[in-house]
Amino acid sequence: MNFTDQEINEIKDHGLTAKQVESQIDLFVNGVPNVKLVAPATTSDGIFKLAEAEELKFLDFYEDKKSELDLLKFTPASGAASRMFKKIYQFLEDYNASKETIDEYLERTGDNHMKKFFAGYEEFPFYNHIIDGLDEETKADENTKKYAFIKTMMSENGEDYGNLPKGLIPFHYYGCYKATAFEEHLHEAAAYAAKSDKATLHFTVSPEHKEAFVKEFDTIHASVSNTTGVNFDVDYSFQKPETDTVAVTMDNKLYRKGDGSLLFRPGGHGALIENLNDVDADVIFIKNIDNVLVQDQIQTLARSKRILAGLLLEKQAQVFKYAALLDKNTISENELEELVTFLKEDFSTRIDSDYTDFSTEEKKSYLAELLDRPIRVCGMVKNEGEPGGGPFWVEDESGKVALQIIEGAQVNTKDAKQGEIFKNSTHFNPVDIVAGVRNYNGKKYNLLDYVNPDLAFIAYKTDGGNEIKALELPGLWNGAMARWNTLFVEVPLETFNPVKTVNDLLKPSHQTKA
């Protein structure tokens, strides 16, 4: 493809190369290949369901090893809260306060989201804060009070929640103060990712929001430290501009903004593999910003996290033992057989059907390549109808079958067989990952080497009223980790409490006893 000098300059200024943009356009033109599902991962095939004795073993293993390890909690937190308040924006656009009451509006529209919102709005963690700022006359009339509440919640002159990062929205109320999602992650880190009274956390944030996160930390860290007995080392990173992708028109031509310049869009959360690649630790806990528990329930979560970490460390120790034997070429025939059994039973690895015909040297080379990868242990919860991805057996372009986390957008659900497999998923991905990113010599893997670039998404967006196509890079726990060694483990459903809409804060799991 031939770019103009101006286009080449714009591409370079964005930290990209012409070749990268050309490959992005090729994906728009040719389409992103759908994944080929083989079967859902289940507790009888691909998902481990641990017995209590196993849980206790892994708990002890983590506690025994923890003092020797670098621990890190990695939290994607760059998302704005706008989608959380999407229905609220719609209400403010549709409701005419001069012509109808809120009850009349709800009756007219049948808006169940707003019915639920107003039925429980006194239970929101920010209710008292907002109501205390209203004058007595406004509070005297219930309809006026409700409308003023929602206007204050959303307006630029009020709380402006829709324009805050989700991490800085108050999620829980403890009787005398409200806690943001960001604060709850500090409490979590103290419960399972701290050693020697110190916890290290890394948040990926938007550049325009970093100052607000720093200010929030300065406000709360002394109190949280006093409560938990843990000190916190917190740092931040931004999604890199060079991971942005070019936008195209619906007929796959470079899209230009009103000023004639090219439009580059953030490459989705898959771009955060770059940020993850820039940090280093023996054990990295990965969890989304909006999935938190109230503080009196954190020990349930912490126990589950410590079990996953112990499982990672125990399996990793075995991987390292075999990797060292292979690297030093001191592995015996019996140990080769043990390794094959280990990979099959402990990592659910599908061994090449021709393996038995390999020479000894070919077997060593093949098994070394299987072992020499980052490891992730992924908690999975029973599927209760939440929208999102789940664990599957997937066949790649070379015919190899492996465990992957797959989103619905990656599946051709119009294909009856593929649609049926996706529908029969028994478990859901809560983004509950413990990662090991070093090899047996302690050297950090280059995580970019283990991305499957074909597992991107094409998204349909608008810009200035114009329909455009945008490319999202392979998701952080989807295609960006496609070539990691993977273990799926069932975890308690109560450890998964995401807040996707504001009404989720009304669920019992987000209500305190205060």
Predicted confidence (pLDDT) per residue in 260-284, tens digit: 899 998 888 889 999 999 999 999 9
- The beta strands (E) that lie in 254-297 are given as 264-265, 283-287
| 97 assigned to some structural domain | yes
Task: Give yes or no for residue 203 having a pLDDT over 90.
Answer: yes
Would residue 15 be called left, alpha or beta, if left means φ above 0 and alpha means ψ between -120 and 50 degrees? left
123 domain residue, yes or no: yes
List 287's β-bridge partners, or say none.
432
Is the confidence at residue 378, as pLDDT, over 70? yes
Provide the angle, in degrees to the nearest 10, between the axes of the packed helices 181-192 and 298-327. 60
C-beta of residue 419 within 8 angstroms of C-beta of residue 411? yes
Q: What is the pLDDT of residue 74?
A: 98
By C-alpha distance, which of 480, 29, 76 is closest to 246?
29
What is the token pair recorded at 392? 């599957």
End-to-end CA, the chain:
63
3-state secondary structure of 223: helix
The amino acid sitting at 458 is: I
The pLDDT assigned to 85 comes to 95
Q: For residue 427, what is the DSSP state?
A: E
Q: Considering only CA atoms, which of 281, 207, 212, 201 is closest in space to residue 240?
A: 207
The answer to whether position 140 is within a domain reads yes
In a domain, residue 239? The reply is no
Q: Any idea which residue has 């007995």 for tokens?
A: 229
**Confidence band, pLDDT 50/70/90 cuts, at residue 66:** very high
The pLDDT value recorded for residue 387 is 64
According to the model, what pLDDT value does residue 463 have? 84
- Averaged over 8-12, what is the pLDDT? 91
Environment class of residue 312 by beta-carbon count within 10 Å: exposed (0-12), middle (13-18) or buried (19+)? buried
> How high is the pLDDT of residue 287?
96
With bands split at pLDDT 50, 70 and 90, how would you rate the model's confidence at 370? Answer: very high
Say if 12 falls within a structural domain: no
CB-count exposure of residue 310 (10 Å: 0-12, 13-18, 19+): buried
Tally of domains within the chain: 1
The residues pairing with 460 across neighbouring beta strands, listed in sequence order, are: 469
Give me the mean pLDDT over the 211-239 stretch. 97
Cα–Cα distance, 41 to 402 (Å, whole number): 10
Instruction: Answer whether residue 139 is part of any domain.
Output: yes
Q: What domain range includes position 115?
A: 82-154
Element at 462 (helix H, strand E): strand 457-463
In a domain, 111, yes or no: yes
Tens digits of residue pLDDT in 147-177? 999 999 999 999 999 999 999 999 999 988 9
Element (H, E) at 200: strand 198-204
Q: Across the chain, what does the average pLDDT equal?
A: 94
- Among 169-178, 179-188, 367-376, 386-395, the minimum mean pLDDT is found in 386-395
Mutual orientation of helices 360-371 and 333-347 as an angle, nearest 10°?
40
| Average pLDDT value for residue range 187-199 | 97
For residue range 323-365, what is the model confidence (pLDDT) as tens digits? 999 999 999 999 999 999 999 999 999 999 999 999 999 999 9
Nearest to 405 by CA among 487, 305, 308, 318: 487
477 belongs to a structural domain: no
Q: How large a percentage of the chain has pLDDT more than 90?
A: 81
Determine how many CB atoms are found less than 10 A away from the CB of residue 108.
11
Instruction: Indicate whether 285 pLDDT > 80.
Output: yes
Alpha helices for 429-496 (secondary structure H): none
Residue 514: is its pLDDT beyond 60?
A: no
Q: Is the pLDDT of residue 56 over 70?
A: yes
The pTM assigned to this predicted structure is 0.94
Chain position carrying tokens 């009787």? 175
Pairwise CA distance, residues 20 & 240, whole Å: 15
CA dist., res. 375 & res. 484, Å (int): 6
Give residue 104's Cα distance to chain centre. Answer: 39
What digits encode the pLDDT tens for the residues 448-474? Answer: 999 998 888 888 888 888 899 988 888
User: Which tokens in the block code for residue 130?
Assistant: 């907002």
* Residue 136 in tokens: 């007595």
Taking residue 513's Cβ as centre, other Cβ atoms within 10 Å add up to: 7
Query: What is the distance between the alpha carbons of residues 107 and 109, in angstroms, rounded to a whole number?
Result: 6
14-33 burial, b for 16+ CB within 10 Å, e for fewer? bebeeeebeebbebbeeebe
Q: Nearest to residue 282, comparing CAs of 431, 443, 60, 451?
A: 443
Please, which residues have CB within 8 angstroms of residue 376's CB and are 6 or more apart in sequence?
433, 434, 435, 436, 477, 481, 484, 485, 486, 487
Q: What is the mean pLDDT of residues 61-84?
A: 94
Report d(CA 23, CA 41) in Å as an integer: 32
As a whole number of angstroms, the distance between CA 3 and CA 5 comes to: 7
Distance CA 306, CA 163 (A): 35
Rounded to the nearest 10 degrees, how much is the dihedral formed by the CA atoms of 173, 174, 179, 184?
-120
